[in-house]
Amino acid sequence: MSDVTGDLAAVSEAKGGSDAARISEVKAWLTSQFEAVGKEVPNFEYTHRSITHLYNLATASQAKSQAATIVANDFRLKASEYRAQAARIREILESAGMSQESLPSNVVSSAQVLANVANLLNIRDTELSSFLVAMGDISLRKTGVEEKRAKAQKESNALLDYTRKAIQRLTYLKKILAQLEDDVVPCESQMENWKTNLEVMAVKEEQYIQQYKKYEMLLNRVGYTPKISHRELVEMAEHRKELDKMTKPVLDTLRSYQDLPPDKALAALAIEDKKRQFTAAEKYLEEVLQSALETNDE
């Protein structure tokens, strides 16, 4: 106990005068509590935190003890009043010849049952109005309990319905899962087939790309451009037909030279004349082609 006092004094000096009052209250409370059970206060470290906690416990304990004392005193006062009232009623009944010893056993039993019912209904007298009020209160409580029970039953039925639906849904999902598991092997084989086909298609795509590039280079080499349309090709074909018509007489004349006379000088002059005509026709053909290409570029 001296160690406890020393620790308390040290904490008191450290925290100041405000903590000194708390420390003294805690000391008195601990001493009273442990002396009540015949024990000494154990030794432990006193800190500001422990003192605060013990002070709060002491304050709460004292408040509850004071409240309990007030309630106990009230109950004792009521008990003495009830005993005095019971003695007065007993004297009145004995003076009227209605003491418990003089009453029949069935009357005593009925009175005891009536008293038990009154205690059960928590009423202080046996007036009919008090019993009616108590019965009405019990009826209201019963109605409230029945309403709560009906509500709980309704909620239980709703939960049961949800549970049934959840079980059905779970069964359906398990069935779907089993079907999916059965379809795994066929789907895997189909996926492998698709994978093989994709690889083949990738190879074919690469080949087609190479061929496309090759043809594109060929078209560029021959002077093809994307601007040349089908209509322009048709127009160029028509121009070619016209040129063929223009060059046909020249070709016929050249073929007739096969029957030239043996005069070499006349034959040479005729050949030079036809060459000039042929050169003029080729020049005209080139001009027509050039004009068609320029029109296409525009």
Per-residue 3-state assignment (H helix, E strand, C coil) for 166-178? HHHHHHHHHHHHH
Helices 184-221/128-182 angle, 10° precision: 50
Q: Do both 109 and 48 map to the same domain?
A: no
**84 within some domain:** yes
Last residue of a domain, one of 102, 136, 168: 102
**What pLDDT is recorded for position 295?**
65
DSSP H or E segment with residue 22: helix 17-36
As a residue count, the chain comes to: 298
Look up the domain containing 266 and give its range: 226-285
Looking at every residue in the chain, the average pLDDT score rounds to 79
126, amino acid identity: T
Instruction: Specify the 3-state DSSP secondary structure of 104.
Output: coil
Question: Over the Cα atoms of the chain, what is R_g?
Answer: 63
Q: 92 with 118, same domain?
A: no
Q: How far apart are CA 240 and CA 285, in angstroms?
A: 8
> How many CB atoms are located within 10 Å of the residue 163 CB?
10
Q: Which of 210, 230, 228 is nearest to 220 (CA)?
A: 228
Report how many domains make up the chain: 3
**Range from 7-16, 102-111, 199-208, 289-298 that averages highest in pLDDT:** 199-208
| Same domain, residue pair 62 and 113 | no
Give me the pLDDT at residue 202, please.
Answer: 92
The phi-psi region of residue 223 (left if phi > 0; otherwise alpha if psi is between -120 and 50; otherwise beta) is: left
At 99 the pLDDT is: 67
Q: Residue 149: pLDDT above 50?
A: yes
Same domain, 25 and 46: yes
Averaged pLDDT for residues 263-280: 75
231 inside domain? yes
Q: How far apart are CA 42 and CA 4, in angstroms?
A: 8
pTM above 0.85, yes or no: no
Q: 239, 288 in Cβ contact below 8 A? A: yes
Average pLDDT over every residue of 70-87: 89
140 pLDDT higher than 50: yes
CB within 8 Å of 275: residues ≥ 6 apart: none
> Which one of 102, 127, 155 terminates a domain?
102
pLDDT of residue 168: 94
Q: How far apart (Å, rounded) are the C-alpha atoms in residues 256 and 246?
A: 17
pLDDT digits over 38-50, tens only? Answer: 888 777 777 788 8
Q: 232-235: long-range contacts (C-beta < 8 A, 24 or more apart)?
A: 232/292, 232/295, 232/296, 235/292
- pLDDT, greater one: 232 or 196: 196
DSSP letter at 45 equals -
Phi, psi of 37 (to 5 degrees): -105, 10
Looking at 69, 102, 135, the residue that finishes a domain is 102
Say how many Å lie between the first and final Cα of the chain, rounded.
118
- The answer to whether residues 122 and 157 belong to one domain is yes
Q: Per-residue pLDDT for 260 more than 50?
A: yes
pLDDT at position 5, please? 42
Q: pLDDT at position 12, please? A: 42
Distance, in Å, from the CA atom of 251 to the CA atom of 258, rounded to the nearest integer, reads 12
Distance separating alpha carbons of residues 43 and 20, to the nearest angstrom: 19
215-221 long-range Cβ contacts below 8 angstroms, 24+ apart: none
Look at residue 225 and tell me whether its pLDDT is greater than 70: no
Residue 3 — pLDDT band, cuts 50, 70, 90? very low
pLDDT attached to residue 14: 42
Please report which confidence band the pLDDT of residue 281 belongs to, taking 50, 70 and 90 as the band edges. confident
> How far is residue 279's CA from residue 174's CA, in Å, rounded to a whole number?
91
User: Is the backbone of residue 104 left (phi > 0), alpha (psi -120 to 50) or beta?
Assistant: beta
Indicate whether 92 and 129 sit together in one domain.
no
pLDDT at 8 > cutoff 50: no
- Whether the per-residue pLDDT at 20 is higher than 70: the answer is yes
CA distance linking residue 216 with residue 225, whole number of Å:
10
- Angle formed by the axes of helices 17-36 and 2-15, nearest 10°: 160
Is a pLDDT exceeding 50 seen at residue 182? Answer: yes
Q: What is the mean pLDDT of residues 281-292?
A: 75
For residue 215, tell me if it sits in a domain: no
Task: For residues 139 and 161, state if they share a domain.
Answer: yes
Quick one: what percent of the chain has pLDDT higher than 70? 81
